[in-house]
Structure 1
Amino acid sequence: MALTTLKDRVKAAGVRTASALDEDTAHERTPDGGEEPGREHADDAVVAAWLDRFETDVTAALPKHIDGRVFLAALRPQLPALLGRCTRASVFQSAVTCARFGLIPDGQQAVIVPDGRIAVFIATYRGFIDLMYRSGLVRSVVAGMVYEGDDWSYEPTAPAPLDFTHRPNVLASEAERGAPLFAYAFAWLEGGVRSAVAIVTREQAEETRDEHSRAYQRAEESGANNSFWHLRFDDMWLKTALRRSEKLVPTSAELRALVAVEQAAEDGRPQILAALDPETAALEAGARLAAAQAEASQDTPTHRLPLKPLRGRAKPRRRNRDKKKRR
């Protein structure tokens, strides 16, 4: 039965994920013929065994509006290469994480690619746009690339939508349009309000790649040159603009979770464990901080409360003394 929220879907295969991780650790210590490091493609028997074990968990993680057969039809052709180069557990994790976001790993909405021996899930800029719509407050998202031969203007101080215009020469050849100058993204919100425009030049995209993409750095160091930045630079350029625009518009919890999941992949952490509802993650982080502070308070000496200055016995009221005299 499909689960309704990302948070529920995260919990759905948690126990199975931990089990797969434990078994994969043992598997790496004593590799068998099905997953020997360095093999480029797994045979049909390995793919069939993986599907027999994990197909139910993957499809159970999908939201209701995604047909499990469609998801598996996109995933199945990639399994021989993924299982030949990556660990079974990482293929399972990336597939389930992709399913939880309701994105199809068809190269259009999302991809699953090797990062060394670890398979990682990456949402394309189209998948990112799809999740932006899920906030319910975004009416349309516009993302594009401005080329040298295009007609465009950008005046940030002008009122929207006069601050930015782009008129591409759609009839021009690729050579006539020239090289791309910058990527941009913005959103129209319910009520007719337009967000600010996020603009990313090539230099800024390369700076983001060089400073923040550890997957790119690992691919450069190994000489593989097979990160998503290597293979689809323009898509990542557009996605960088979309990620900047995401900070300017109301977003869904799933989109905020996607950012955390992709950062986990960059950091080399399991993506499936990061696919949590951001509000829940924030509460958990706050609880951990409070617990740490409580523990720390047990180790520090408590301060003595200030004492009131000592006084003598209060004198009786004058009225009482006068009564005594009359007696």
Structure 2
Amino acid sequence: MALTSLKDRVRAAAASTPSSDDIRHDRAEDVEETRAGHDDQAASAADWLGQYRADVEAALPKHISADLFFAALRPTLPKLRGCTPASVLQAVITCARFGLVPDGRQAVITADDRIAVFIATYHGYIDLMYRSGLVKSVVTGLVYPGDEWNWEPTALPPADFTHKPDVLAAKKDRGEPLFAYAFAWLEGGVRSAVAVVTREDAEDTRDEYSKAYQRAEQSGAKDSFWHLRFDDMHVKTAVRRMAKLVPQSAELRALVAVEQAAEDGAPQILAAIDPETAALEAEARQAAKAAEASQDRPAPRLAVKGGRGRAKPRRRNRDRNKR
């Protein structure tokens, strides 16, 4: 399933609905957008998406059940009834393309100014890291004022960072987190550097880069993820910084591009990498491993001619010398 075929299917789906004939998103138009059927009913929205079930199944990796994916998606549909049909379909297919379930834990499909957007949670980022085979374990956390912690970047891992949370402290007494952190253990037992993001760093990132947050502030809705799930976004910021410190798969790089497209108001599906490219990268990685393994093998010994002493010259050579 190539990326162009996904784009063509979304365009076809958008053209089949009365409210949109292109997959490009325009937030400036003040036009009432409707969805096929009764947009106030989750069942009608599910029926409309059901027309494109084959496209969603084609986008999903084999280990994700289409029934599970649609079951997780169904409770979200009423919240998307004001979004353009094209944006709903492209967000759903993009989410399926990454093999993340829109259950609120791995990923979310949410409305952003009448545009449906796919957002991966930090759990979704970690899941993609595991699938690459390059990352063995990811550790994340929030450090509160009552916790015991030590961060000494110049020390050797794992002594450079320790965290002992005060698990007995009541949530209301813990206060605001001091910082979020993330690090990964890689193939071969190597550990990445620790990404540390203070609350001030997280707020600066939110204010400077999150257009969804800015739009929610300007409209007064205050319903962006930064408003509703600040701690999760704080940890996600640390995970995204840590992702730059470890080997990245094609899918992980594509996920960053897809989320940036959402911030820019562009169709996310156009930023998604096609499976053929991912397959080529996987083959290249395997070839590199095979090449490294071949270098570790001892060089074959040269064949040694049997018998004692020096080999006798051939009779033909002796006769030639006599001449």
> Secondary structure of the residue that 2:157 maps to in structure 1?
coil
Matched residue, 1:120: 117
Q: Structure 1 residues 206 and 48, CA, compared in 2 at 3 Å: closer, same or farther?
A: closer
Matched residue, 2:268: 271
Matched residue, 1:284: none
Matched residue, 2:302: none
State the distance in 2 between where 1:96 and 1:45 align: 19
Matched residue, 1:3: none
State the distance in 1 between where 2:73 and 2:236 align: 23
Aligned residue type for 1:63: P
Does residue 195 (structure 1) correspond to residue 188 (structure 2)? The answer is no
* Alpha carbons 2:182, 2:242 under 8 Å: kept: yes
* Alpha carbons 2:144, 2:175 under 8 Å: kept: yes
> Secondary structure of the residue that 1:134 maps to in structure 2?
helix
Q: Percent identity of the aligned residues?
A: 65
Does residue 17 (structure 1) correspond to residue 10 (structure 2)? The answer is yes
Matched residue, 1:68: 66
State the distance in 2 between where 1:197 and 1:140 align: 13
Equivalent positions of 1:1-327 (< 5 A) are: 8=1, 10-22=3-15, 23=17, 24-26=19-21, 34=35, 42-43=40-41, 46-82=44-80, 84-276=81-273
Q: Report the CA distance between 1:12 and its aligned residue.
A: 4.4
Q: Structure 1 residues 197 and 256, CA, compared in 2 at 3 Å: closer, same or farther?
A: same
Aligned residues: 270
Larger Rg: 1
State the distance in 1 between where 2:254 and 2:275 align: 6
State the distance in 2 between where 1:209 and 1:33 align: 31
Q: Report the CA distance between 1:156 and its aligned residue.
A: 0.7
Q: Which has the higher mean CA deviation after the structures are superposed, 174-183 or 17-26?
A: 17-26
> Secondary structure of the residue that 2:181 maps to in structure 1?
strand
> Secondary structure of the residue that 1:183 maps to in structure 2?
strand
Q: Report the CA distance between 1:176 and its aligned residue.
A: 4.1
Q: Which has the higher mean CA deviation after the structures are superposed, 167-176 or 245-254?
A: 167-176
State the distance in 2 between where 1:86 and 1:252 align: 32
State the distance in 1 between where 2:4 and 2:34 align: 32
State the distance in 1 between where 2:30 and 2:204 align: 38
State the distance in 1 between where 2:60 and 2:175 align: 42
> Secondary structure of the residue that 2:51 maps to in structure 1?
helix
* Alpha carbons 1:147, 1:182 under 8 Å: kept: yes
When the two structures are superposed, what TM-score results if normalisation uses the length of structure 1?
A: 0.76
> Secondary structure of the residue that 2:101 maps to in structure 1?
coil
Structure 1, unmatched stretches of 5+, are 1-7, 282-327
Aligned residue type for 1:162: A
Q: Structure 1 residues 32 and 217, CA, compared in 2 at 3 Å: closer, same or farther?
A: closer
State the distance in 1 between where 2:145 and 2:123 align: 24
Q: Which has the higher mean CA deviation after the structures are superposed, 173-182 or 187-196?
A: 173-182
* Alpha carbons 2:110, 2:118 under 8 Å: kept: yes
State the distance in 1 between where 2:71 and 2:271 align: 26
Structure 2, unmatched stretches of 5+, are 23-28, 279-323
Q: Which has the higher helix share?
A: 1
Q: Structure 1 residues 72 and 45, CA, compared in 2 at 3 Å: closer, same or farther?
A: closer
> Secondary structure of the residue that 1:166 maps to in structure 2?
strand
* Alpha carbons 1:257, 1:277 under 8 Å: kept: no
State the distance in 1 between where 2:212 and 2:275 align: 23
Aligned residue type for 1:121: F
When the two structures are superposed, what TM-score results if normalisation uses the length of structure 2?
A: 0.77
* Alpha carbons 1:10, 1:61 under 8 Å: kept: no
State the distance in 1 between where 2:30 and 2:164 align: 58
Q: Which has the higher mean CA deviation after the structures are superposed, 183-192 or 164-173?
A: 164-173
